[in-house]
Structure 1
């Protein structure tokens, strides 16, 4: 088979390499062309060197091109994969730093909450530019696979306003299933069957079967509380399981910032999180991790390049959905996964215009979603709160209406639990002014926002958060990796 795959934001080096090698695990895809595009010429050339090394070592006919000209990369592409982070780590740092001044302590800040909403404002205009190019120069009927966060908002904008065949992809369901299989003592995840449904990062395991036997709440709670690691790392997640009756896909840190109950009081935050790794609730944890990863890659690039000279092993193909979707569409080998699409009857008790994440099957006819699923009422209520925020955020990003943007932030569960309306109004002004270069739709609103900030009397504070860690140096990272190797 010969067709073209374009990867936008290919400078996300580690993730791009994973997608690339996954796709080449499919024997029929040896002759595929990969067109890489990114704003950073430097990152683009680094990832191309790595992928060229993979191709050369495995003696493949695969073609890899790299260009900062997005339309050239998209021209004739059958599949387009987006991994973009508009504004990079610079804008992301403001997504964490500015809300902290108003008492809002986020672990990740890329889905909803103040950081995720502003992230969406930066991404959505760019997503629509992608869609315009796809419609104009890609292969007719091209499919857009969005990996970029905020997943639901980006996918919502691409479907409703971009008018492109779009699916949003995430790995939260797979990671949650791995945990459940482990605590229940399964020999492999293949012994676990499940229905997981909801919205991205708030998806719920509403039916669990281990070797055909239904698993109830009490058994699952007992299994997690008995686990020596997860009982400490997932305290908040286990508490939600006890109260809601079902397990959430999302990590302890992620889940904590989507709810109004666990991060609203600084002295309570440390009760629910675990500092053994960023993903369990550390303040700004993903920002620290991303910064360290970037610094490590730039310093240790020769090591990354050397490690690319290895055989592609289909047994090590990851559980990221993209390669499996492409394989099913092109070869008709059926794939079952969990996908982000417009609701339209998939989940009965969520709004029909929402982007939901739910089970589906892929074959040559496309992505075919199971419909008629009903969530437990508490799960639906939690999802609906986020959906309302997502809807307003998407509409604000499209219209450039700063007042609607402020209302979206005001209705965010965690923001509303922490901040007053006056604080929210000022915080949004401050974030829009700080990120103006990435928010063209708010250009007309920036001067008035600056004027309001100059006259504001609302007090803020310089606060690192309840559980912040400093970015580690390359030397510290190297020492840690050496210690881990010695321990093994």
Structure 2
């Protein structure tokens, strides 16, 4: 087989390398072309060097090109994978920093909540530019695989306004299933089967089978509470399991910021989180992790080149969906996974226009979703609250309607649990002014927002959050890595 895959945002070095090696685990894909594109020429050349080394070491005919011209990369591409972060770490820092001034403590801030909504405002205009290029220069019928957050908003915009065949992909379901298999003592992944359904980052394990035996709430709660690690790292998640009756796919930190109950009071936050790793609820945890990781790639690049000399091992193929979807579409080897698509009745008690995450099967005929799923009422209520925020956020990003954007933030569950309308109005003004360079749709509204900020009487505070850790230096990271290796 010979076709072209374009990767937008290929400067995400580690993730691009993972997708690349996964895809080359499919024997039929040896002779394909990868077209890498990124705005950052430096990162682009770093990842191209790594992938070239993999191709050379494995003696493959695979072609790798790299260009800062997106249209050039997309020309004649059959598949387009996006893993972009519009605004980079600079804008992301404001997604965390500014809401903290108003008492809003986020762990990740890339899905909903104040940070995730603004992230969507930056991403959606760019996503629509991607879609325009795909329609104009990619292979007819090209498929757009979106890995970028905010997943639901980006996918919603690409389908409804970009008019491109799009699927959103995430690994939250797989990671949640690995946890469940662990606590239940599964000997292999195949021992556990499940149906997981909802919306991205709020997907729920509504049916669990261990070697065919149905697993109920009480058994699952007992298993998690008895686990020496997860009982401490996933306290909030276990509490939601007890109350809702089903386990959420999303990490303790992620889930905490989608709900209005666990991060609303600073003194309560530390009760529900765990500081052993960023993903369990640390204030600005993913921002710190992303900053450290970016620095790590810069300094440890020679080691990445050395590791690229190793043979590709199909037994180590990851559970990221992309390679499995492409394999199913091209070879007709059926793949079952959980995908982000427009609902249209797939989940009976969620809105038809929502982007849902639910089971589907892939073969040569495309992605075929399992329809007629009904999720528990409490799960549906929680999802609908987020869907309403996502819908307003997408429409605001398309129209450049600052008032609608403020209403979207006001209706966010966690923001609404903490902030008054006056605080929300000022916070959004402050965020769009700070990020004006990435928000072209709000250009006409920025001057008035600046004037309002100059006259504002709403009080803010200088607050680092309830559970903040400092960014570690490369030396500290090296020392921790060496200590872990020695401990093992």
Normalising by structure 2, report the TM-score: 1.00
Provide the C-alpha distance between the structure 2 equivalents of 1:452 and 1:60, rounded to a whole number of angstroms.
59
C-alpha separation in 2, matches of 1:313 and 1:475: 31
* Runs of 5+ unmatched residues, structure 2: none
Q: Could you say what secondary structure the match of 2:118 adopts?
A: helix
| CA distance in 2 between partners of 1:394 and 1:457 (Å) | 30
Deviation at 1:306, TM superposition (A): 1.2
Deviation at 1:81, TM superposition (A): 0.0
Shift of 1:364: 0.1
Cα distance in 2 for residues equivalent to 1:46 and 1:131: 26
CA distance in 1, matches of 2:388, 2:38: 32
Q: CA deviation at 1:408?
A: 0.1
Cα deviation for residue 157 of structure 1 reads 0.1
Alpha-carbon distance, 1:304 to partner: 1.0
2 CA distance for matches of 1:186 and 1:48? Answer: 39
Q: Distance in 1 between matches of 2:256 and 2:130?
A: 32
Alpha-carbon offset, residue 303 of structure 1: 1.0
In structure 1, distance between residues paired with 2:180 and 2:478: 32
Q: Alpha-carbon deviations, 1:449-488, whole Å to 9, x = none? A: 0000000011101100000000001110010000011111
Deviation by residue 1:352-411 (Cα, 9 ceiling, x = unmatched):
000000000000000000000001000000000000000000000000000000000000
C-alpha separation in 1, matches of 2:426 and 2:312: 52
For residues 194 and 436 of structure 2, what CA distance do their matches in structure 1 show? 44
1:398-434 Cα deviation digits (max 9, x unpaired): 0000000000000000000000000000000000000
1:258-314 CA-partner distances (Å, limit 9, x unpaired):
000000000000000000000000000000000000001101111111111100000
Post-superposition offset of 1:448: 0.1
Equivalent position SS for 1:66: strand
What residue is the counterpart of 1:447 in the other structure?
447
Looking at structure 2, the residues matched to 307 and 30 of structure 1 have their Cα atoms a distance apart, in angstroms, of: 20
In structure 2, distance between residues paired with 1:185 and 1:480: 30
Q: Partners in 2 of 1:457 and 1:380 — Cα distance? A: 39
Q: CA deviation at 1:230?
A: 0.2
CA distances 1:195-245 after superposition (whole Å, capped 9, x unpaired): 000000000000000000000000000000000000000000000000000
In structure 1, what is the equivalent of residue 157 of structure 2?
Answer: 157
CA distance in 2, matches of 1:297, 1:137: 33
Q: Which moved more, 1:238-247 or 1:292-301?
A: 292-301
Q: Distance in 2 between matches of 1:329 and 1:76?
A: 17
* 1:62-104 residue CA offsets vs partner (Å, 9 max, x unmatched): 0000000000000000000000000000000000000000000
Cα drift, residue 254 of structure 1: 0.1
- 2:238 is the alignment partner of 1:238: yes
Q: Which moved more, 1:361-370 or 1:304-313?
A: 304-313
Taking the aligned partners of 2:368 and 2:143, their CA distance within structure 1 comes to 14
Paired position in structure 1 for 2:307: 307
- Give aligned pairs, total: 488
Tell me which residue corresponds to 2:481. 481
For 2:232 and 2:387, how far apart are their aligned partners in 1? 30
Tell me, in whole angstroms, the C-alpha distance in 2 between the residues paired with 1:184 and 1:439: 47
Aligned to 2:397: 397
Q: 3-state SS of the aligned residue for 1:464?
A: coil
Partners in 2 of 1:276 and 1:406 — Cα distance?
A: 35
For the residue of structure 2 that corresponds to 1:16, the secondary structure is helix
Structure 1 stretch 297-306 or stretch 285-294: which is displaced more? 297-306
Give 3-state SS (helix, strand or coil) of 1:193's partner: strand
Secondary structure of the residue aligned to 2:206 is: strand
Deviation of 1:189 after TM superposition, in Å, equals 1.4
Instruction: Give the secondary-structure state (helix, strand or coil) at the position aligned to 2:361.
Output: strand
Superposition misfits of 4+ residues, deviation over 6 angstroms: none
* Separation in 2, partners of 1:158, 1:473: 38
Q: CA deviation at 1:351?
A: 0.3
For the residues of structure 2 that align with 1:350 and 1:318, how far apart are their CA atoms?
A: 31
Secondary structure of 1:204 counterpart: strand
What is the TM-score when the length of structure 1 is the normalising length? 1.00
Alignment partner, residue 466 of structure 1: 466
Matched with 2:167 is 167
In 2, Cα distance between the equivalents of 1:46 and 1:377?
48
Shift of 1:316: 0.1
Tell me how far apart the structure 2 counterparts of residues 41 and 312 of structure 1 sit (CA, whole Å): 26
Distance 2:102 2:121 in 1: 20
Deviation readout 1:34-66 (Å, 9 max, x if unpaired): 000000000000000000000000000000000
Q: Distance in 2 between the 1:331 and 1:110 partners?
A: 35
